[in-house]
Amino acid sequence: MIAGIIVAGMMFLFGLFFMGLLREDDSQVGIVFVSFWLLAMLVIIGTFTYNLVNYDKNTNSMAGEEIILPDSFLPNENKLDFEERLHKIEKLKNERLISEKEYSEKRKEIMNERW
């Protein structure tokens, strides 16, 4: 980031020098171009400076938390088809791994997705 500020600063100084040369020649088009050049360099310098000042150097805060996507965001090859999902929850209910209420809720959810 500091290198960016230095390079943009040097380009700004070049623009000022070039502006001085153009003022001697009375070149209006050149002066307008260099004015935009100087404005762009100020924006770049300001952006780099803002990022340098506000950049969070605490690496612990960069750790993201796990994002769990719903099945609808998974690619189709990873998504169980309609019948397989119904058979899976029915098997879980028969093995008494889920309650009748959980089975009904999940079955209703699957049926709503299908239709």
Q: Give the pLDDT confidence score for residue 75 in this predicted structure.
A: 55
Tokens of 69: 């996507």
Average pLDDT estimate for 28-41: 91
Identify the residue with better confidence: 81 or 42: 42
Give 44-93 pLDDT, tens digit per residue.
999 999 988 887 666 555 555 666 666 655 555 445 677 888 889 999 99
Residue 41's pLDDT band (boundaries 50, 70, 90)?
very high
Neighbouring residues of 15: CB distance < 8 A, sequence distance ≥ 6:
34, 37, 38, 41
Average confidence score pLDDT of the chain:
82
